[in-house]
Amino acid sequence: MRVIDQPGALKRWRAGCTRPVHLVPTMGNLHSGHLRLVEQAAADDAEVVVSIFVNPTQFAPGEDFERYPRTPDADLDTLSGTGCDVVWMPAPETMYPLPEASRFGLRPPPALAGCLCGAHRPGHFDGVCNVVMRLFWQIRPDRAFFGEKDYQQFVILKKMAEDFSLPTVLEPVATVREPDGLALSSRNRYLDAAERPIAAGLHQALCELAERARKAGPGTFPVLERSAKTRLETMGFRPEYVEIRDSETLGPPTGRRDRAFAAAWLGRARLIDNVALRRQ
């Protein structure tokens, strides 16, 4: 496994690749969910690149950029012996070489980025699109792998790739969970001992919402969403949203390909999750 932090070295490595290149973008603090992405990326005899970069442009003022867990040494130990061939660890000035006032940028459409998490984190998906586009240009991957926990992010990035005719194919990977259903996330470490058992309630509430919605039909969705939100509040969560939306457009539910989405605070941890209404 090779660690690269200079763009020239990355360019030379990429020029010498004879196999397909697969990318797993991360912000580090790696867990089993990330390793599942690496496993999927390595399945087709490809060169696997894992990027580690805590992207400042996707954090709004007052969010947890400064305290976001950074564990580079442990991350490299974790990746050693996996299917990872290259770790790309750029410095901020490598990822963003121009001062902010001179920087070019992307902005996803409000129809995609103005709902769900985007409604509560203005500008977040601008930062996500900009950093991923830069990673795609730097690495030029044939395929890139993203976890379904961040489902809205995946939809936005897939539409971005389509709109710009990017050659990279984006691949979704099912959410990796703890035995009680909690989606793996770097932010789970913000949970204290009392909050951790409660945290699984987010997934449980979404599964119950999806089951009821499957049986009842779209006309009942607003009532079911409010009921799920109330249930989360009784468990101790501070819900931001609980919504059923079309899984491809993120627009109103169609009754054919819908997903239930939720974000809720529990103590210092902001947890997100989603569940498909139709069993897959």
Instruction: Supply the residues annotated as catalytic.
Output: 34
Query: Per DSSP, what are the bridge partners of residue 270?
Result: 265
The answer for residues whose C-beta is within 8 angstroms of residue 186's C-beta and 6 or more apart is 27, 28, 29, 31, 68, 69
In 3D, which of 201, 220, 187, 239 has the Cα closest to residue 33?
Answer: 187
Burial status of residue 192 (CB atoms within 10 A of its CB: 0-12, 13-18, 19 or more): exposed
Residue pair 271/264 in contact by the 8 Å Cβ criterion: yes
DSSP 41-95: HGGGS-EEEEEE---GGGS-TTSSTTTS---HHHHHHHHTTSS--EEE---HHHH
Q: How far is CA 1 from CA 38, 191, 218, in A?
A: 13, 33, 50
